Amino acid sequence: MTPIYIASIGSYAGKSLMALVLGLGLRDRGLKVAYFKPLGTLPTREGGALTDEDALFIARSLGFDGPVEALCPVLLTEDLSEQALKDDAGHLEQRILDAYGTVSRGADVTIIGGIGSLSRGALVNLSGPRVAELLQSRVLLVARYESEINVEEILLAASLLGERLAGVALNYVPQPALARARGLVREYLERRGIAVLGAVPRDEVLGSVTVRELSEQLNAKVLCCENRLDELIKHFVIGAMNVASAVKYFREREDKAVITGGDRPDIQLAALQTPTKAVILTGNLHPSDVLVKRAQQVGVPMLLVAADTLSAVERIEAVVGKLRVRERVKVERARELLEKNLDFARLYAAIGIA
């Protein structure tokens, strides 16, 4: 059985999506793939058993039908942190080994999911490098890349992981930085013995958010078109200009959500006349029945929020790109991007898969 641990230099680097795409690809090659997450931070109950939400989703996507409680044996709760500070966290390593044995039994490859950065879990002596050592696993490091600061983080991670590091995948690379990442940055890291498996560009689909997710994050009231809440929003536009400018600007942006005050019916109507996925009305000001009826006719959800426009925008900026992937269209897009931009053959060779 071959284990591969997916780690990252920081949060929201794309570890879970990388694990899922890697698992689906290996499964398509005829291998039996298991998924295991030693530490979790998203507790959920399934059939009375406590596990991690991400672990359950990925494992089920790969065909897991075993005991749910084995998928994620250690959940990093406040209670566990309190016990750790008192040196009374219990025998967590043995708990992980026992669960790992259950999940990986009969698998050709076991993908092990990391959380946060490499330091996460150190409070209970289960940092990323320690988990990789405990499970005798090679490590795929996923690095969200924006500038050379991230290169320094990769170098530090490589020094901590040592020979267990199988390679690094540069992820969510902005288009202006793509050539540099694939050229100078890659050459620099390769000269230092760090295998760079590729650079994946930032993508609109993966960075999008569903109307439903947006509604939940804004604690919004859905005024109409509940059947369109799974539509993907790729762009956000603030409607604070005059109507003529708004119509011209709105036409240039498809798959958008328009954020505007509830007291701007002119902007709301302009949004409904162009390709729009949702209209977000701020200030808890209810639109007219005429506008709600028009939104129903064109199939555009209207979301009513109590926050002012600035606060709503700040909340959206805080969550976009950090929501977990669940939609099939995003998973398929991720597979397309990763298969095109990452050298999986090199990764397979590094972890011993023919």
332 shares a domain with 309: no
Tens digit of each residue's pLDDT (9 = 90 or more) over 33-44 = 999 999 999 889
The CATH number of residue 225's host domain is 3.40.1390.20
Q: Give the pLDDT confidence score for residue 315 in this predicted structure.
A: 87
Q: What percent of the chain has pLDDT over 70?
A: 98
Distances (CA, A) of 157 to 24, 36, 218, 288, 323: 27, 22, 36, 56, 25
What domain range includes position 305? 209-319
What is the model's pLDDT at position 111?
98
d(CA 135, CA 4) in angstroms, rounded, equals: 9
- Do 251 and 307 reside in the same domain of the chain? yes
- 37: CATH: 3.40.50.300
Give the contacts of 159 (CB within 8 A, at least 6 positions apart): none
Same domain, 163 and 224: no
pLDDT of residue 323: 63
- Domain check: are 226 and 344 in the same one? no
The model's pTM is 0.86
In order of 20, 166, 266, the CA distances from 25 in angstroms are: 9, 18, 49
Cα(293)–Cα(305) distance, integer angstroms: 19
Same domain, residue pair 80 and 201:
yes
Q: Are 225 and 301 in contact (CB under 8 A)?
A: yes
**Strand, helix or coil for residue 83:** helix
| CA–CA separation, 170 and 10 (whole Å) | 12
61 shares its domain with 130: yes
How many domains does one find in the chain?
A: 2
The reply to whether 336 and 196 lie within a common domain is: yes
Same domain, 47 and 167: yes
| pLDDT recorded at residue 1 | 86
Regarding whether 217 and 159 lie in a shared domain, the answer is no
Query: Is there a single domain that holds both residue 10 and residue 156?
Result: yes
What residues does 140 pair with on adjacent strands?
Answer: 6, 167
DSSP type of residue 47: T
Residue 138 confidence (pLDDT): 97
- Give, in order, the Cα–Cα distances in Å from 199 to each of 15, 22, 169, 177, 184: 14, 16, 6, 10, 12
pLDDT under 70: residue ranges of the chain: 240-241, 321-325
Indicate if 95 and 54 belong to the same structural domain: yes
If asked whether residues 39 and 71 sit together in one domain, one would say yes
pLDDT of 87: 87
pLDDT of amino acid 322? 64
